[in-house]
Structure 1
Amino acid sequence: MRVDTFDGMYPYTPRFTDAPGFAMHFVDEGPADGEVVLCLHGEPTWGFLFRHLIAALRGTHRVVVPDHMGFGRSETPPSRSYWLQDHIDNLERFVLALDLRGITLVMHDFGGAVGMGLASRHPDRIRRIVSVNGPTPFGQATLGERLAANAAVSPWFQWIVRAESEGRLEVVLGELGFNILSTLKLNGFEDHRLINDAWLRAYGARFATPADCAGAIGWAKGVATGAHRFEMPDAAARRAIAAKPAMAIWGMADRTLHAEHFLPLFSALFPGGPVHRLPGVGHYSLEDAPDAIANRIATFLAQT
């Protein structure tokens, strides 16, 4: 079977596991005995977002990049729900099936909430935390306030709340194959040189029909309706994770997840964790500044 590499931009061997109860796609690059770097994407992206990071790290690390249910090359089962807790359950089954340990989490967008959910359940499997425009919610008392304050100034969150209230959310997000560029841009990337047919195909082809869009719809709908449930760690898990080496990298032109609302969550949990602010870099920072991010992550891995 021919696999689209998107003009060579994503040349990695597709792998699948049914451990989460559906066909979950992932790539697994680098030495099998290397330290594990587990990359978790958000909305409405997939492993393709980490293509440059995979290339930068696979010579020294085992880079594992799954696609969440309903995204990328993973299956979109019609009988499943697509709330945050479902994605955490899926990731947990995936990690246990592959028996991944000593994990460095690299988390973008809602991959942050999914990854921190995994960390809450299995702190013993986590070695490091890297937040790349990916919130690190971990039971903080101020989480609700920060989410609300961010939603008040974020065009994406303003849109999904209004669209859900007017009954238009499923209709619009059900056509992501056609409007993927406007959806990505609403969330925010700054480097328009990225846009070509192969790049658009990589992000849009997965959403060929409304049924294909259940993952993207579910994430947005869960935010608008409050259906997502953040994992709440116990005191021991919180202490264990807070003791891990951690780093945040944030594109400061992010209009969807504003640094002023989410970096304090990171620093409250990891007060000694370095924070790298990237001026002029948008929400999809791994698209806007792939080399700068890869270099900072490689240095962090080497130093810790």
Structure 2
Amino acid sequence: MIQSDATFGGTFAFAPYFTDAPAFRMHFVDEGPRDGAVVLCLHGEPTWGYLFRHLIPVLSATHRVIVPDHMGFGKSETPATRSYWLQDHIDNLEKLVLGLDLTNITLVMHDFGGPVGMGLAARHPDRIRRFVSTNGPTPFGQADLLARVTGNAAVSPWFRWIAQAEAEGNLEAVLGQLSFNILSTLKLNGFENNAIITDDWLAAYGAAFASPAECLGAIGWAKGFAIGAHRFEAPDAAAARAIRRRPALAIWGDADRTLHAAQFLPLFDAVFPGARVHRLAGVGHYCLEDAPEIVNPLISAFLSQT
């Protein structure tokens, strides 16, 4: 767990907030007017709220921007006795949202933040106003979801490594050393913008994983795929109808080697037919890191236009 007052050379100078609503100490950023429409930013593997550090100031002038760290990531606690499957992260997010009584929410989702956010939407469609996928899958009960996840895993270096490491019995050992191999893990997933790598940047992404015991979140997300433990939330008919009417935007770095557009953008199109899709050539999996100068104005314009 990263220290609550850590700013990494001033690159993440946002006041820390915490809640015990999910039965662990969950950190979140809460910037902007408290009566503003909510933007809820959801990170994935193996990142934390730091991923959204450039977006937060852009949107918080007019919106209440909330950026939680999932259990086992960032400044949130890593309980030793909890499981770290998709359904656990959905449960935790639901408790945060209900505890803060958040409504009128725009979801900004990256990586496994996509399934977590869509799980929240399936349970509480009335609380969600818009969707933004930034290289974040939007599974929502599609019949071909398993086939697309399986097809993606066959060509993704990250998912192929997960399967091999689990079969050889060294997945926990490797991911338990993320503080040392964080850059190689990010690169394997498809981080492209080498120009932004600094000591502060490396420290920010590695600090949450200072020991194997603090890597349970990252291990759990990977292992859950290897053993089939994750459970995608399926909406009921009323929730599905409600969500399909919401404005949505997809921004996808086409150089993503982990989540291939050919497999996952059809999931987005199926839920949000006719929604805007921006494919960014040369931009990788971490589009918010690779091209914030493109991604952030697209999100800001989307909020102002819908």
Contact 2:16 2:28 in 1 (8 A): yes
Instruction: State the aligned residue count.
Output: 304
2:251 is equivalent to residue 243 of structure 1? no
2:298 is equivalent to residue 302 of structure 1? no
Contact 2:4 2:75 in 1 (8 A): no
Contact 1:52 1:291 in 2 (8 A): no
Q: Which letter does structure 2 place at the counterpart of 1:212?
A: E
Contact 1:108 1:134 in 2 (8 A): yes
Q: Which letter does structure 1 place at the counterpart of 2:198?
A: N
Could you tell me which residue of structure 2 aligns to residue 233 of structure 1? 235
TM-score, normalization by structure 2 = 0.98
2:48 is equivalent to residue 17 of structure 1? no
Q: Deviations over 1:1-59 (max 9, x none)?
A: 98221111100001100000000000000011111000000000000000000011111
Residue of structure 1 aligned with 2:151, choices 142, 149, 152: 149
2:76 is equivalent to residue 46 of structure 1? no
Q: Which letter does structure 2 place at the counterpart of 1:122?
A: H
Could you tell me which residue of structure 2 aligns to residue 113 of structure 1? 115
Q: What is the distance in 2 between the residues matched to 1:132 and 1:178?
A: 27
Cα deviation for residue 276 of structure 1 reads 0.4
Moved over 3 A (4+): none
Contact 2:26 2:75 in 1 (8 A): yes
Q: Deviations over 1:198-222 (max 9, x none)?
A: 0000000110100000000000000
Q: Deviations over 1:203-243 (max 9, x none)?
A: 00110100000000000000111100000111111111111
Q: What is the distance in 1 between the residues matched to 2:193 and 2:107?
A: 26
Q: Which letter does structure 2 place at the counterpart of 1:9?
A: T
Q: Deviations over 1:157-203 (max 9, x none)?
A: 00001000110100000000110010011001111011111000000
Could you tell me which residue of structure 2 aligns to residue 56 of structure 1? 58
TM-score, normalization by structure 1 = 0.99
Could you tell me which residue of structure 2 aligns to residue 271 of structure 1? 273
SS in structure 2 opposite 1:106? strand
Q: What is the distance in 2 between the residues matched to 1:289 and 1:242?
A: 28
Q: Any residues of structure 2 matched to 1:1-304 within 5 Å, and which? A: 3-304=5-306
CA-based RMSD of the aligned residues comes to: 0.8
SS in structure 2 opposite 1:22? coil
SS in structure 1 opposite 2:96? helix
Contact 1:139 1:233 in 2 (8 A): yes
Q: Which letter does structure 1 place at the counterpart of 2:271?
A: L
Cα deviation for residue 92 of structure 1 reads 0.2
Contact 2:4 2:16 in 1 (8 A): no
Cα deviation for residue 150 of structure 1 reads 0.5
Q: Deviations over 1:137-171 (max 9, x none)?
A: 00000101100110011000000010001101000
Q: What is the distance in 2 between the residues matched to 1:164 and 1:195?
A: 30
Give identity over the alignment, percent: 72
Q: Which consecutive unaligned segments of at least 5 residues does structure 2 have? A: none
Q: What is the distance in 1 between the residues matched to 2:133 and 2:208?
A: 26
Q: What is the distance in 2 between the residues matched to 1:57 and 1:115?
A: 19
Contact 2:166 2:226 in 1 (8 A): yes
Q: What is the distance in 1 between the residues matched to 2:70 and 2:215?
A: 12
Q: Which consecutive unaligned segments of at least 5 residues does structure 1 have? A: none
Contact 2:46 2:218 in 1 (8 A): yes
Q: What is the distance in 2 between the residues matched to 1:32 and 1:272?
A: 32
Q: What is the distance in 2 between the residues matched to 1:108 and 1:245?
A: 17
Q: Which letter does structure 2 place at the counterpart of 1:178?
A: F
